[in-house]
Every structure is written in structure tokens, then in C-alpha cells.
Amino acid sequence: MVNTRSQTKMADNADLLALLAEIKKSMEKGQEEMKKGQEEMKNGQEEMKKGQEEMQNGQEEMKNQLQGVKRKIEEVRNEVQRKIEEIEGKVQRKIEEVEDKVQVKMEEVEEKVQVRIGDLEKRLSELEDRPINFPANPDLTYSRPTVKSLTFDGQTSWTVFKAQFDVVSFANGWNNFVKASQLVTSLRGSAAEVL
């Protein structure tokens, strides 16, 4: 059978149509895949955007937490500083109280010492002014053993010194005038400065 020109042309057209249909089908498939790829890309971008937002929110939250921690640290630091200043104030007030009490006590002691010194000076003056009249009687005269006079420097106990002084004055038979004189001459160092 001999193909006619028109049959050949038709066959060529049919091949062309089939090829066009195949190309069209392939193009539609490519467009479908492209559309699908664009969808996936869009979804990926949305997920990425969502991830960025979450990350930004996380950073913001972290920043807020850091600010909160900084505020808390500052509050604690201020509270500690306030407590330190409060304690320093109390300690300073106590020191001043003690200093005041010590000053008052020192003034009281100084006043008592001055009164005592005044009394001793008065008694000494009275004893010096009083004449001593003894008739000399050789029968009554006897020699007593003399005990060495003591010294007081303010370092030893006044009570102990006074007790020893009384024993020595009795043993030596001193009258009040001699006792007063011996007492004054027995003072040494800071004890003598009181006079």
C-alpha cells in the first residue's frame, strides 16, 4: 500500500500531536512539581519565620530574666549595704556609750581622789599645828624594834598596801601625824603624782 501525501502528512501530524500532547503532559507535570516545590518552599519559609519568632521570643524572655536577676542582685546588694551601715551605726553608738561611761567613771574617781587628798592634807595640817607635849620620863622610854616603811607605786592593790601599812605603823608605834607623814613619803611613781 502506498501512502499518499495526505496520509503521510496526517501521520506526521499525528506524531506531532502525540509529541505535543507528551510535551504538554510533561510541562503540566513540571508545573505541578514546581507548584509543589513552591508550596514546600513557602511552608519552609513559614516554619523558618516561626522558628525565628520563637528564637526572638526566647531571646526576649532570656533578656527579661537577666534583667530580673540583675534587679534581684541589686536589691540584695542594697539590703546588705543597709544592714552593714545599720550595724556600724549600732557599734558606733555602743562605743560612744562606753566612752561616755568610762569618762564619767574617771571623773568620779578623780573627784573622790581629790576629796581624799584634800582630807589628808587637812588632817596633816591639823597634826602639824597641834603641839606634841610629852614629859620626858626615862623609865617609860624603851626602844621598840622598828619595821621598815613600805612604798606604794599604784601597781599593787591599795587594800593590801593599807593593811601592811597599818601593821607597820602599829609595830612602830606611830601616832596619826607620823602615819600621815609616812604615808605621803611612801608614795612612788603614778601614786605620788596624785599629790
Task: Render pLDDT for 74-114 as a digit per residue (tens, 0 to 9).
Answer: 999 999 999 999 999 999 999 999 999 999 988 889 888 88
| Averaged pLDDT, 157-163 | 88
Residue 188's region, left for phi above 0, alpha for psi from -120 to 50, else beta, is beta
Query: Could you give phi then psi for residue 175, rounded to 5 degrees?
Result: -85, 180
For residue 41, what pLDDT is reported?
A: 92
For residue 145, what pLDDT is reported?
A: 54
For residue 75, what pLDDT is reported?
A: 95
**H or E element in which residue 87 lies:** helix 5-129
Q: Is the pLDDT of residue 69 over 90?
A: yes
- 80-81-86-87 Cα dihedral, nearest 10 degrees: 70
Residue position matching grid coordinates 536589691: 75
Indicate the pTM of the whole model: 0.34
For residue 2, what pLDDT is reported?
A: 57
Do you know the residue count of the chain?
195
